[in-house]
């Protein structure tokens, strides 16, 4: 970490900083320029003391040179992490997996029917929400544990692993019991106790970036999970909030190469939420594959206009089937594979 | 709610929409223009079905005309809500209250000393974090229940009500037991189970807006608490995330008059987090008072450079004392009062 | 346009609105609901009077149902606009064109050398800035007309059409004289006199979206050019400004399918500016092709570390050559072509 | 400027950087840490070469320690700049000036009437737009030079200095001839030729921040004007673009203390555009005064519902009159004065 003192700093100002560095157990390295004195703070994880130096009135600027996260970083682990979901499905390898299903689990039959549709089109992981984070307390909140039973049942019947969102520590236990992957949603990306709970159970975790979460913060949130001993974390970009209102969110595809450079964790993309307009989901899914996604999440509903949530962005079965073939072509063009 | 059909819509498209309106138990009202057919959906809370109509391929646009929240709205309750904190302290009346204290509770003595400092300067409510939402898992996470004991003890000794943040459902119970006000932090503004838990206990709730939460979403989050029976909700603006990096966040003071127009709930402002730079906190606090704040939150620390979190934005005791006098002058200029 | 009156509006409020609609030469269409009265304003371009109704205290909300732009809209022209650049190059057809060259034109030889490099790799249009919009008055401002001579000379020598930016009305004339395409940069997207000047000359115009320009505003800016009689407008997304600081800008790929739906104009993308980090430009270029781009702009410099501007994002010749082959594969995967 | 090399940098990497520093005429200062080598680049305005070092593959990070602007900085000039507008009016001193008038100049009589209204309420500078930057080419574009005659005439009749916006280099000359202050609007904040033209004439310049302009960029734009010899620049914050749609823009009041710390130039605020909702303009104007504004711009229109632009945010004469008294109270509370 590099601490730049204000112009005209005196010997006692320098001493105050170097003393503090020593108190924290680090080594100072002083470098006097013509106008500015710069002090390096040398040692691992100096970055966590950034604020303590910014709080000093004699300090002009503190800049990080090491990443504030460790286990999530590419420096810590050079090769890509491959997250095994089931015997033959792993995320982060050559194959791109498409995670598909309805936004919310609505009833038992619909879940099985949708599962059959998405599997026959080539999707390998089944999604569906049992606990729904809805901005209005009056909107449909999900079927709860009953929904988890339905998705588990559908997944078992057609041999697909499953993913569903947990919004509380208690739900983490339930989703972990019923499903193959535990999803942490965008609104909970900085719900630290939830992250810790996800890190303490054994199933892989799909961690969605929040609408205003920076790439650095997303990796710090992943670090919360990793630091509890669960190394199977899949990152997910699903659109950030910007000034543009023509689309529901703004997909930040820049984040894909940047995340892959900074971290060894696989990256999955959710164009359904990311653009939020059914007729454009397919186009964005292709862009996601080209950008290097290890997986794509797509909402599919046999009758979107009857869906209890997120209807405007769900694909119809035929749209999805055609899209899968198109995605496969793009995957091959970038040296990956998608359909078998 | 107003549903506009796409140009060239046919009789069967109109029927599909009106049938659906009737299925949901509402009355359709058709209005045919030269190019467009517009269908009103008449009845209370039609807005919660917005997505179901947006999902229809024949629909061009759906616009809300009623608010999606009810209990939080000015239509529901015309007069301002006044939240009683203790026998002689209430937020939302003529007097503006200053909530002050350290960012994190660090030790017993420091808590009492800071309490004495802020009380003698005119602050009426004591703040301090026992559970700290920190973006890094390696940063100081707070003292937990021990911290709640310290703040309760300090508050009792010098007769000040207290506020502290709860990050989990379990912590809601603890904070509610030890403190006068339960704070829900910015990162948890859409943690719906937490909101419901806060709504089920009896103490007033201080609800902070998230960094990317719209005004409408903030009021919907308040609605989660209100709909559980707890009507003592205090809204708090603490800075939103924008492209500007010269300050930690961008304070959205526009939100104050807008919230007061849309809702009857009191609004408190947090310039310490909102600008994040100690020397400018005082200026922004004055702007907050002028903008109509019912309360101001200010971080004060006897030795900010030793603070375990948020040091760069904490005021020194003397700075705080002077600021209180200045705030009082601005309060009087806008027809309010602050010091006694 | 739909005007919703406030709850409890009276007969005289309705009359005030309908009278005003008639004054503007439109027809009102009244629709009384249980709580709200809604008045349609029927006729072409009613949207330009939106503010006049929002200014009325009795009006709750005004919503547009027609687009405020006309010539740029898909309603006005159903088939895609194909912009002819030279005898054998046209943008908006099946072939995707790659526009390449240095950020700034620096000297005559360098321009020719870079031109040869990009042409041999398959680029079909040569770019280079003679007038540089630089945020600092002390940074290199471009060679001016001398630079235009260099790029014209390079283009003529190796038979490539050229594009360069004009920042003033006078420069529009010069760029139009020396180059094949006149570029309007992001910072000037709402410089209306410049847009009009670009609309009055005959060469195609490449219009870049600003860092905070909405899709609607971009199309309105295009409308300024079109309404002067120049129909050869190429839209360009080059990254918008968001809270994320890990990349220079955030590329809004969502904008591509949305623009293509709303407008008939071709859309070109600039991943060099959009991400601003050399090693990630290639990945984003592939995502742009998959998202439906009609063209891609890529900065190439033989020695980026000596470049006078935008060095960090310029590709090296070998990187560019390899990228072109990769882009061609993605283009084919989405039913387009890129290399011959 | 501090250049941090990537981990594991070799002697030749260090040499490449130090050689380049010397080529630019600066002195390198090497500081080797355990993992990282840091090289200081010492000398004035090293910051303008930032990109040249970021372009090097061996460089991890480049951080500025000096400001990239000079004449606009507080380091260059310690005392506040006071801009003299007329014999008895100066901006930047103890008195806060209120600049008021219609958004657009609409006709001669209306201009005089509005001028009388605002002067009698205590406003000291008259505003009105002759050239209007409108996002739609079909909206009212202003009266042009005729409008400048009207505002000059009104100002002369009632002895008020005047301000109007120039959108082109040619208009700078006209506005400079007819008015006391030349305004550069938000959309042109990075129209560098316009800034240079404003810097070459003698009248004071009111420079508005763009919707996505950082504080640093605003000061660099001011530097363009200052570096041409015109030192009478007034900065203006008028709202930035964020995700919030309940208001037209988000006023960034944080920018006021930050600008005043970084620069000696006076700062004026425009709450009419900043919030865009008539009934809330007054509240925000008070917040602006408390935040340290040297001037406030307020749109006033005798009949806002007939205004040709920005009607929804214009105050009625009586509203304005009352507001002026309230602003005066707040001004006094923060040690300033407003009314005489």
Band of pLDDT at residue C57, cut at 50, 70 and 90: confident
- Domain boundary at C31, C63, C95, which? C63
Question: What is the distance between the alpha carbons of residues C139 and C145, in angstroms, rounded to a whole number?
Answer: 18
Model confidence pLDDT, tens digit, residues C101-157: 999 999 999 999 999 999 999 999 999 999 998 888 888 889 999 999 999 999 999
Residue A179 and residue A103 share a domain:
yes
Q: Do the Cβ atoms of A334 and C332 come closer than 8 Å?
A: no
Percent over 70 (pLDDT), chain D: 99
CB atoms within 10 A of CB B109: 10
Structure ipTM over 0.85, yes or no: yes
Q: Which of chain B's residues have a Cβ under 8 Å away from the Cβ of A312?
A: 51, 54-55
Question: What is the distance between the alpha carbons of residues C215 and C221, in angstroms, rounded to a whole number?
Answer: 10
Residues B242, C245: C-beta atoms closer than 8 Å? no
Quick check: B136 contacting A, CB < 8 Å?
Answer: yes
Quick check: D194 contacting B, CB < 8 Å?
Answer: no
Band of pLDDT at residue D305, cut at 50, 70 and 90: confident
Closest Cα in chain C, distance from residue D335 (Å) = 35
Residue A294 and residue A264 share a domain:
yes
Residue C268 and residue C163 share a domain:
yes
Quick check: D287 contacting B, CB < 8 Å?
Answer: yes
pLDDT of D323 > 80? The answer is yes
pLDDT of D261 > 80? The answer is yes
Cα-based distances in Å from A84 to A87, A260, A329 = 7, 18, 25
Half-sphere exposure (Cβ direction) of A175: Cα atoms closer than 13 Å: 31
Question: What is the distance between the alpha carbons of residues B236 and D182, in angstroms, rounded to a whole number?
Answer: 40
Whether residue D68 is contained in a domain is answered as no
Residues D304, C55: C-beta atoms closer than 8 Å? yes
Return the minimum-mean-pLDDT range out of A327-336, C236-245, D59-68, D154-163.
Answer: D59-68
Q: What is the mean pLDDT of chain D?
A: 93
Which residue in chain D is spatially nearest to A34 when comparing CA positions? D42
- Domain boundary at D63, D91, D111, which? D63
Residue D57 and residue D8 share a domain:
yes
Residue D89 and residue D49 share a domain:
no
Q: Among C254, C323, C330, which would you mutate to test the A interface (most chain A Cβ atoms within 10 Å of its Cβ)? A: C254
Model confidence pLDDT, tens digit, residues A155-184: 999 999 999 999 999 999 999 999 999 999
Whether residue A22 is contained in a domain is answered as yes
Helix (H) or strand (E) holding D146: helix D145-158
CA angle in degrees (0–180, nearest 5) for D167-D168-D174: 90
Q: What is the mean pLDDT of chain C?
A: 93
Residues in Cβ contact with B248 at an 8 Å cutoff, skipping those fewer than 6 apart? B239, B273, B274, B275, B276, B277, B313
Band of pLDDT at residue A237, cut at 50, 70 and 90: very high
Whether residue B70 is contained in a domain is answered as no
Residue of C49, C122, C180 whose CA lies nearest to C320? C122
Look at residue A95 and give its three-state secondary structure.
strand
Closest Cα in chain B, distance from residue C95 (Å) = 31
Looking at residue A148, what is its pLDDT?
A: 98
For position A41, which CATH number holds? Answer: 3.30.70.1140
Cα-based distances in Å from D243 to B245, C86, C111, D93 = 16, 42, 42, 35
Residues C42, B33: C-beta atoms closer than 8 Å? yes
Residues in Cβ contact with B208 at an 8 Å cutoff, skipping those fewer than 6 apart? B183, B184, B185, B186, B189, B236, B238, B270
Residue C102 and residue C42 share a domain:
no
Tokens at D40, concatenated: 């200081």
Question: What is the distance between the alpha carbons of residues B279 and B285, in angstroms, rounded to a whole number?
Answer: 11
Phi-psi region of D117 (alpha: psi -120 to 50; beta: other; left: phi over 0): alpha
Residue C280 and residue C188 share a domain:
yes
Question: What is the distance between the alpha carbons of residues A199 and D206, in angstroms, rounded to a whole number?
Answer: 55
**Which chains pack against C, by 3+ Cβ pairs within 8 A?**
A, B, D
Quick check: B312 contacting D, CB < 8 Å?
Answer: no
Percent over 70 (pLDDT), chain C: 99
Question: What is the distance between the alpha carbons of residues C93 and D52, in angstroms, rounded to a whole number?
Answer: 38
Considering only CA atoms, give the Rg of chain C.
Answer: 23
Q: Do the Cβ atoms of A183 and A175 come closer than 8 Å?
A: yes
Residues in Cβ contact with C23 at an 8 Å cutoff, skipping those fewer than 6 apart? none
**Which chains pack against D, by 3+ Cβ pairs within 8 A?**
A, B, C
Helices (H) and strands (E) in chain A, counts: 11, 14
Tokens at B128, concatenated: 């301090």
pLDDT of D8 > 90? The answer is no
Looking at residue C67, what is its pLDDT?
A: 84
Closest Cα in chain C, distance from residue D172 (Å) = 13
The pTM assigned to this predicted structure is 0.93
Tokens at C305, concatenated: 């570390």
Q: Do the Cβ atoms of B115 and B160 come closer than 8 Å?
A: yes
Question: What is the distance between the alpha carbons of residues D178 and D105, in angstroms, rounded to a whole number?
Answer: 14
Question: What is the distance between the alpha carbons of residues A183 and A176, in angstroms, rounded to a whole number?
Answer: 10
Question: What is the distance between the alpha carbons of residues A180 and A182, in angstroms, rounded to a whole number?
Answer: 7
Phi then psi dihedrals of residue C191, to 5 deg: -90, 90
Residues in Cβ contact with B180 at an 8 Å cutoff, skipping those fewer than 6 apart? B85, B86, B125, B155, B161, B162, B163, B203, B204
Residues C2, B63: C-beta atoms closer than 8 Å? yes
Whether residue B168 is contained in a domain is answered as yes
Question: What is the distance between the alpha carbons of residues B302 and A107, in angstroms, rounded to a whole number?
Answer: 58
Instruction: Output the CA torsion sign for A169, A171, A172, A177.
Output: positive
Quick check: A335 contacting B, CB < 8 Å?
Answer: no
Residue C102 and residue C52 share a domain:
no
Q: Do the Cβ atoms of D298 and D315 come closer than 8 Å?
A: yes
Closest Cα in chain C, distance from residue D330 (Å) = 27
Q: Do the Cβ atoms of D195 and D220 come closer than 8 Å?
A: no
Closest Cα in chain A, distance from residue C278 (Å) = 11
Residues C307, D217: C-beta atoms closer than 8 Å? no
The DSSP secondary-structure symbol of C153 reads: H
Whether residue B51 is contained in a domain is answered as yes
Looking at residue C63, what is its pLDDT?
A: 84
Whether residue D173 is contained in a domain is answered as yes
Cα-based distances in Å from B132 to B148, B166, B303, B304 = 12, 9, 19, 17
- From C7, C31, C243, residue closest to B31, measured CB to CB: C31
Looking at residue B248, what is its pLDDT?
A: 94
Return the minimum-mean-pLDDT range out of A43-52, D77-86, D106-115, D269-278.
Answer: A43-52
Question: What is the distance between the alpha carbons of residues D27 and D37, in angstroms, rounded to a whole number?
Answer: 16
Band of pLDDT at residue D28, cut at 50, 70 and 90: confident
Model confidence pLDDT, tens digit, residues D328-337: 999 999 999 9
Residues C31, B29: C-beta atoms closer than 8 Å? yes
Closest Cα in chain D, distance from residue C216 (Å) = 9
Looking at residue A61, what is its pLDDT?
A: 85
Give the CA dihedral C286, C289, C290, C293, nearest 10 degrees: 150
Entry field: residues in chain A: 340
Closest Cα in chain D, distance from residue A34 (Å) = 7
Q: Among C333, C334, C336, C339, which would you mutate to test the A interface (most chain A Cβ atoms within 10 Å of its Cβ)? A: C333
Tokens at B40, concatenated: 């009103």
pLDDT of A28 > 80? The answer is yes
Residues D60, A60: C-beta atoms closer than 8 Å? no
Quick check: C246 contacting D, CB < 8 Å?
Answer: no
Residue B93 and residue B13 share a domain:
no
Whether residue A72 is contained in a domain is answered as no
Size of interface B-C (CB pairs under 8 A): 50
Cα-based distances in Å from B314 to A161, B309, D9, D195 = 50, 9, 39, 39
As a whole number, mean pLDDT of residues D105-116 equals: 94
Return the minimum-mean-pLDDT range out of A106-120, B27-41, B211-225, D278-292.
Answer: B27-41
Looking at residue C340, what is its pLDDT?
A: 79
Q: Do the Cβ atoms of C158 and C164 come closer than 8 Å?
A: no
pLDDT beneath 50, residues of chain B: none
The residue with greater pLDDT, A2 or A184, is: A184
Return the minimum-mean-pLDDT range out of B245-249, D21-25, D155-159, D253-257.
Answer: D21-25
Phi then psi dihedrals of residue B245, to 5 deg: -110, 0
Considering only CA atoms, give the Rg of chain D.
Answer: 23
Whether residue B100 is contained in a domain is answered as yes
CB atoms within 10 A of CB B227: 18
Quick check: A63 contacting D, CB < 8 Å?
Answer: yes
Residues B65, C4: C-beta atoms closer than 8 Å? yes
For position D292, which CATH number holds? Answer: 3.20.20.70
Which residue in chain D is spatially nearest to C195 when comparing CA positions? D137
Which residue in chain D is spatially nearest to B260 when comparing CA positions? D280
Percent over 90 (pLDDT), chain A: 74
- From B254, B277, B288, residue closest to D251, measured CB to CB: B254
Residues D220, C69: C-beta atoms closer than 8 Å? no
DSSP-assigned states of every residue in B17-82: HHHHHHHTT-EEEEEE-SS-EEEEEESTTGGGGHHHHHTSTTEEEEE--S-S-STTBTTT--SPP-
Quick check: D197 contacting C, CB < 8 Å?
Answer: no
Residue B272 and residue B229 share a domain:
yes
Residues A192, B167: C-beta atoms closer than 8 Å? yes
- Domain boundary at A63, A91, A108, which? A63
pLDDT of A35 > 80? The answer is no
**Which chains pack against A, by 3+ Cβ pairs within 8 A?**
B, C, D
**Tally of domains in chain B:** 2
Quick check: D50 contacting C, CB < 8 Å?
Answer: no
Question: What is the distance between the alpha carbons of residues A287 and C290, in angstroms, rounded to a whole number?
Answer: 5
Residues in Cβ contact with D19 at an 8 Å cutoff, skipping those fewer than 6 apart? none
Looking at residue A303, what is its pLDDT?
A: 83
Return the minimum-mean-pLDDT range out of A166-180, A222-236, B305-319, C3-17.
Answer: B305-319
Burial class (CB within 10 angstroms; exposed 0-12, middle 13-18, buried 19+) of D34 = exposed
Percent over 70 (pLDDT), chain A: 99
Looking at residue A277, what is its pLDDT?
A: 92
Residue A93 and residue A7 share a domain:
no
Looking at residue C29, what is its pLDDT?
A: 84
pLDDT of C8 > 80? The answer is yes
Q: Do the Cβ atoms of B319 and B304 come closer than 8 Å?
A: no
Which residue in chain C is spatially nearest to A290 when comparing CA positions? C287
CB atoms within 10 A of CB D36: 20
In angstroms, the first-to-last Cα distance of chain D is 49
Residues B214, D261: C-beta atoms closer than 8 Å? no
Q: Which residue segment(s) compose the domain that A41 sits in?
A: 2-63
Band of pLDDT at residue C92, cut at 50, 70 and 90: very high
Looking at residue B174, what is its pLDDT?
A: 98
Residue C251 and residue C168 share a domain:
yes
């Amino acid at each position: 970490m590099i601490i730049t003192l204000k112009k005209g700093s005196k010997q006692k100002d320098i001493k105050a900083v170097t003393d503090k560095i020593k108190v924290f157990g680090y080594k100072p390295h002083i470098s006097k320029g013509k106008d500015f004195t710069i002090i390096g703070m040398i040692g691992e994880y100096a970055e966590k003391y950034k604020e303590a130096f910014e709080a000093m009135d004699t300090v002009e600027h503190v800049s990080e040179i090491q990443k504030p996260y460790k286990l999530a970083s590419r420096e810590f682990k050079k090769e890509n992490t491959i997250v095994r979901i089931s015997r033959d499905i792993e995320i982060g390898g050559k194959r791109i997996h498409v995670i598909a299903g309805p936004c919310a689990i609505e009833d038992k039959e619909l879940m099985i029917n949708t599962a059959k549709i998405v599997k026959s089109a080539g999707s390998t992981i089944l999604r569906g929400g049992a606990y729904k984070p809805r901005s209005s307390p009056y909107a449909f909140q999900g079927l709860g544990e009953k929904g988890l039973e339905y998705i588990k049942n559908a997944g078992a019947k057609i041999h697909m692993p499953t993913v569903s969102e947990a919004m509380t520590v208690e739900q983490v236990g339930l989703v972990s019991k019923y499903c193959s992957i535990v999803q942490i949603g965008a609104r909970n990306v900085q719900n630290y106790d939830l992250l810790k709970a996800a890190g303490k159970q054994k199933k892989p975790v799909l961690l969605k970036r929040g609408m205003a979460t920076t790439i650095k913060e997303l990796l710090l949130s992943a670090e919360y999970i990793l630091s509890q001993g669960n190394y199977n974390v899949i990152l997910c970009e699903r659109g950030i909030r910007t000034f543009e209102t023509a689309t529901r969110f703004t997909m930040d595809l820049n984040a894909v190469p940047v995340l892959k450079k900074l971290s060894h964790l696989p990256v999955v993309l959710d164009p359904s939420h990311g653009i939020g307009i059914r007729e454009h989901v397919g186009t964005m899914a292709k862009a996601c594959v080209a950008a290097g996604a290890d997986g794509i999440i797509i909402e599919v509903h046999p009758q979107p206009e009857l869906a209890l949530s997120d209807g405007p962005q769900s694909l119809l079965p035929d749209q999805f089937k055609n899209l899968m073939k198109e995605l496969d072509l793009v995957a091959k063009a970038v040296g990956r594979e998608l359909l078998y």
